Amino acid sequence: MRLVVARVQDDIDAGRTVEDTTPGATRNRLQTPTLLRAIAEGRHDAVFGGPAGTRRRPGPRSASSASATSSASGSEEPAPELWNLYNARHNKGEHIRVFPLSNWTELDVWNYIGDEGIDVPPIYYAHRREVFQRDGMLMAVSEHLAPDAGDPVFEAMVRFRTVGDADCTGCVESMAENVDLVITEVAGTRLTERGATRADDRISEAGMEDRKREGYF
């Protein structure tokens, strides 16, 4: 296999995109032009994705649709979840985006992890960490993210339900230190992991669809 890496910083340095220096801004939107550049340069016919279309059904509108194909510009239009209907035909310059687990819920994923005895990073399990409150979420103190002046920092037992950029991914208070406890916890929750812990999914009800139209996934 050949690893292809496209770096956001390269596009910033080349002037193809401008870094948002607004306080609280994340780097997520900056990933879109870099992704589209990499797909165009590599002339890839299909691109497999995971996190942006995974583990969130049932959920809000931003999670309830998925698109199989993208135009030459990289944009996507929301489509119904026709899980057993596939169309692999696409025109020159287009590519197919494939999300094999789009119809899996968060609980489906954890049940699979438990059944197969899969090791996952410990950040997904409860651990003690320094955190602070922002926009109703617990954010982890790190070299990439610090609280605003005057915001208190405290220790709590937390775990991450999803892992993304540190500046927009929150954690939840939890005592689930192993897979069985996580399954029990997830089975009882009524809030999707993106709605609970992803700041950039709170932009609007259809925040994910809006970003897909720009080429993000």
**Sheet of 137-140: strands edge to edge?**
137-140, 127-134, 154-159, 172-173
Digit-coded pLDDT (tens) for 154-205: 999 999 998 877 888 899 999 999 999 999 999 988 766 555 555 545 444 4
Confirm if 77 and 213 have CB atoms less than 8 A apart.
Answer: yes
CA 9/CA 14 separation, integer angstroms: 8
Number of H helices, E strands in the chain: 6, 7
Residue 47 pLDDT grade (very low, low, confident, very high; cuts 50, 70, 90): confident
Digit-coded pLDDT (tens) for 108-143: 999 999 999 999 999 999 999 999 998 888 999 998
Q: Is the pLDDT of residue 57 over 60?
A: no
Place of tokens 């809030």: 191
Q: Which residues contact 103 (CB under 8 A, 6 or more apart)?
A: 57, 81, 83
How large is the average pLDDT for residues 21-32? 72
